[in-house]
Structure 1
């Protein structure tokens, strides 16, 4: 893509230009590395102290994307080092330069220190990726290049000890389990809208690969997935989210599907929708990479590169949520059998 096509592609895909997208991804990468180094969440002046380094990293991302004619997320992360003092370093500050809150001249006065910080951020992410995926490294084939988007997906999912999605998923699980309990007590009656919604969702909730289920125990099988399974599972979650949103939109005027906590089924569905929505950006990106992969690309290293461990944990957590949501819909549809 030429520069104009690249700008259009970013606007269409991310609703922001190439430079704005570069700045956003650079800040996500910088803040993740800085907070890990400090071992705590940064706020106020501490966060702002890292802003200049993120600007320089953003400039390297922007330069690399324009030079390669690729979306910023598709740029190999190591390529940014070329622009931060290596092969292309001399051209980093050449015109044209994108806009900044301060002048690039003031940034260039601190170039040595800022380049060192920006390079440290990139190196930290490369090393962290190797550490986080050490248990996935033995695919028998050389690994694929680590892309900027690969690390951003890992950052978006969060650290294993405190994933960013955990609160939404746990809230949805509580809402679904509460709805199951309340329905079992007979505290709320089925309505036409509730029954129709459960009926509309059930085919989608059941349309998952059989390999994910232990038919005797009725539980998820989450280990030793065959190659290709993670991408399929991620695309499926996006499909469930789309279906759930469409069904809720169809019955948006139904009082007994309101999202208020006093309406158990509606509250459970609304909470599930929020939890599923968080994984959609990653699902879209992985699906695009899946569609554009070379036919001769082996799937194990492809998944190792593009579906990070933290995202896999997010997938499994949402699958477990859908197990409970499927049980709730089954209870609603078979209530007459129990009466």
Structure 2
């Protein structure tokens, strides 16, 4: 695998892992309500630097390793395969060379992350369990729901389309409410002719 492909797959793994980490923590940097409410405090910034970014980096490393092992794109990787690298069959090889480049968004290095792996590997497990919970109602039904493994790309798309916190409406619900109202209004206007 050439250096450009390694960098591209690592960048993809980092981006996907950050989306999954933010969802597991209920954090969305685009959540204007939280910013306006003053919830993005100095303490939250410290948490991002010392917990969220390292947890995301560990998940990205597991996704990067697993995608290289299976020779698939990160988006096409079963999320459960990351668990092999986070404490399962391949755990001992997680921090072996070659490692992807360390980006300066976070202080430290791979050795510091390896020392904290027990505190940081829960994000992938959280998403696997959340997916089971979210799809339990349709499991085994004949509605066309896929029984294929949960792919990272599918989970990321589901997270981006859904709420950033549990028990809140999806981000796109206001747009669909508006569209439904416009359609209902148009139908009423047409039926009144």
Shift of 1:47: 2.7
The 1-side partners of 2:47 and 2:95 are apart by 26
Distance in 1 (alpha carbons) for counterparts of 2:22 and 2:176 = 24
Structure index of larger Rg: 1
The answer to which structure, 1 or 2, has the higher relative contact order (CA under 8 A, 6+ apart) is 2
Counting only pairs closer than 5 Å after superposition, residues 174-323 of structure 1 correspond to structure 2 as 320=180, 323=183
1:110 aligns with 2:116: yes
TM-score (ref. length: structure 2): 0.72
Alignment RMSD (CA, Å): 3.3
Query: What is the match of residue 34 of structure 1?
Result: 25
- 1:44 counterpart residue number: 45
Residue in structure 2 matched with residue 64 of structure 1 by the alignment: 66
| Residues in 1 aligned to 2:96 and 2:182: alpha-carbon distance in whole angstroms | 52
Matched residues in 1 for 2:173 and 2:153: separation? 21
Match of 1:89 among 88, 91, 109: 91
1:166 aligns with 2:173: yes
Give the Cα–Cα distance (whole angstroms) in 1 for the partners of residues 55 and 2 of structure 2: 27
1:7 maps to which residue?
A: 5
Once residues 181 and 151 of structure 2 are traced to their aligned partners in structure 1, the CA distance between those partners, rounded to angstroms, is 30
Task: Indicate conservation of the 8 Å contact 1:74/1:149, yes or no.
Answer: yes
Q: Measure how far apart 1:21 and its partner are.
A: 1.0
Whose helix fraction is larger, Structure 1's or Structure 2's? 1
3-state SS of paired residue (1:146): coil
Secondary structure, aligned partner of 2:26: helix
Q: Which runs of 5+ in 1 are unaligned?
A: 9-15, 174-317, 332-337
2:16 maps to what in 1?
25
Q: How far 1:169 sits from its partner (Å)?
A: 4.6
Q: What is the distance in 2 between the residues matched to 1:17 and 1:82?
A: 22
Distance 1:80 1:44, change over 3 A: same
State the distance in 1 between where 2:20 and 2:139 align: 22
In 1, Cα distance between equivalents of 2:149 and 2:182: 33
Residue aligned with 1:44, SS: helix
Distance in 1 (CA, whole Å) between partners of 2:136 and 2:124 is 18
**2:125 pairs with 1:127:** no
Q: Which residue of 1 aligns with 2:30?
A: none
Aligned length: 167
Report deviation, 1:166: 3.0
